[in-house]
């Protein structure tokens, strides 16, 4: 067992991480309120209203040293620009999926994400891949392939969500800035795209923010805190708890999404989904077991 002092030190981190994952898991409840707004406009407002909060977080931390070095490190702009684009892609697909009745498939993407991240780290960073991890990835691939064949269409939403966030995670893993500074820079780099899109909307597509009621404007502006607060909570939690525990807690989000999709929104979940998700879940169980068993062995030896 862990000492009481260790558990007390980790408790705030666990609370922050759980709060972040729970907010992400409840995203459909928020986005459904904006179902009448085009997904790209919701996405633009997520970026626009997130930037002030991200900058406020950096100001609160009092650490501007990394951002002050941008003139000396122009390559950082390309690095964080790519990360920002991947993050925005993930946000956009998630919004579209929720508001077009694909919450279940979105949950599959976030179940897949950790396994895809491992595979990507192996290919790009040449990190060693243990046997259990290879089996877990193979089962996840088999689950996705099964669903593609059984349903007659590839689960592109799940793949896009998993691939975009895995790519983002890889770039953030090798990023030269901290969590707050990195988020602020990523958001600032995609901010002109969001403003530009709203200023230049296709003919016949009204700017919903300008044409909506005060209540709807408030909902769109809430995209900032709804986006930024869980990211800040996650950053705070990740610094305080072991990576293995963080890896377990991350499945709170896709589990909540799956429950909402099936129980609240009555989305399809038949035998084909059950087999596909089941293969992915077995892979996840093997992955988690591979991470937790060494810790148990270490406790026995201590």
Q: At what angle do helices 103-125 and 271-301 cross, to 10 degrees?
A: 50
pLDDT for the residue numbered 2: 52
For 273-286, the pLDDT digits (tens) are 999 999 999 999 99
pLDDT for the residue numbered 300: 46
Residue 141 is given by DSSP the state H
How far is CA 8 from each of CA 11, 162, 222, 230, 242, rounded to the nearest angstrom?
5, 33, 33, 22, 13
Cα dihedral angle (174, 178, 179, 180), rounded to 10 degrees? Answer: -150
- This prediction has a pTM of 0.86
Task: Flag whether pLDDT at 291 surpasses 90.
Answer: no
Q: Rounded to an integer, what distance in angstroms lies between the CA atom of residue 94 and that of residue 47?
A: 14
For 150-181, the pLDDT digits (tens) are 888 889 999 999 999 888 888 887 777 877 88
Q: Mean pLDDT check: name the lowest of 37-41, 98-102, 113-117.
A: 113-117
Residue 102: phi, psi to the nearest 5?
A: -125, 40
Q: Rounded to an integer, what distance in angstroms lies between the CA atom of residue 66 and that of residue 203?
A: 41
Asked if residues 207 and 41 have their Cβ atoms less than 8 Å apart, the reply is yes
pLDDT for the residue numbered 302: 41
pLDDT for the residue numbered 123: 84
Average pLDDT estimate for 217-239 = 88
Residue 136 burial (CB < 10 Å; 0-12/13-18/19+)?
buried
Q: Rounded to an integer, what distance in angstroms lies between the CA atom of residue 236 and that of residue 275?
A: 36
pLDDT for the residue numbered 298: 43
Asked if residues 209 and 41 have their Cβ atoms less than 8 Å apart, the reply is yes
Q: Provide Rg for the chain, Cα atoms.
A: 20
For 43-80, the pLDDT digits (tens) are 999 999 999 999 998 888 777 777 777 777 778 888 89
CA 284 to centroid of chain Cα atoms: 17
Asked if residues 43 and 95 have their Cβ atoms less than 8 Å apart, the reply is yes
Task: Flag whether pLDDT at 296 surpasses 90.
Answer: no
80 contact partners, CB below 8 Å, separation of at least 6: 171, 175, 177, 182, 185, 186, 189
* Angle of CA points 31, 35, 36, to nearest 5°: 145
Q: Rounded to an integer, what distance in angstroms lies between the CA atom of residue 267 and that of residue 262?
A: 5
| Residue 134 pLDDT level (bands cut at 50, 70, 90) | confident
Average pLDDT estimate for 219-224 = 93
Question: Residue 23's closest CA among 227, 271, 288?
Answer: 227
Asked if residues 28 and 103 have their Cβ atoms less than 8 Å apart, the reply is yes
Residue 206 burial (CB < 10 Å; 0-12/13-18/19+)?
exposed
Task: Flag whether pLDDT at 293 surpasses 90.
Answer: no
């Amino acid at each position: 067992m862990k000492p009481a002092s260790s558990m007390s030190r980790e408790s705030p981190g666990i609370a922050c991480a759980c709060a972040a994952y729970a907010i992400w898991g409840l995203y459909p409840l928020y986005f459904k309120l904006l179902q009448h707004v085009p997904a790209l406009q919701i996405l633009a407002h997520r970026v626009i209203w997130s930037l002030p909060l991200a900058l406020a977080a950096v100001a609160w931390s009092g650490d501007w040293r990394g951002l002050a070095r941008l003139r000396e490190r122009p390559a950082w702009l390309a690095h964080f620009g790519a990360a920002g684009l991947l993050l925005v892609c993930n946000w956009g697909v998630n919004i579209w999926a929720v508001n077009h009745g694909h919450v279940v498939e979105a949950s599959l993407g976030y179940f897949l994400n950790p396994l895809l991240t491992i595979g990507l780290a192996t290919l790009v960073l040449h990190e060693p891949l243990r046997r259990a991890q290879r089996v877990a990835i193979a089962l996840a691939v088999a689950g996705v392939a099964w669903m593609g064949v059984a349903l007659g269409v590839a689960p592109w939403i799940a793949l896009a969500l998993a691939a975009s966030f895995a790519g983002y995670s890889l770039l953030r893993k090798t990023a030269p800035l901290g969590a707050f500074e990195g988020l602020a820079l990523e958001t600032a780099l995609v901010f002109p795209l969001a403003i530009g899109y709203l200023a230049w909307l296709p003919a016949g597509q009204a700017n919903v923010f300008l044409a909506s009621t005060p209540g709807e404007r408030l909902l769109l502006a809430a995209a900032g805190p709804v986006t930024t607060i869980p990211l800040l909570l996650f950053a705070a939690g990740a610094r305080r708890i072991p990576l293995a525990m963080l890896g377990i807690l991350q499945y709170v989000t896709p589990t909540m999404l799956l429950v909402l999709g099936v129980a609240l929104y009555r989305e399809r979940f038949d035998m084909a989904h059950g087999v596909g998700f089941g293969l992915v879940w077995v892979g996840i169980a093997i992955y988690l077991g591979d991470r937790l068993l060494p810790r148990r062995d270490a406790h026995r030896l201590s």
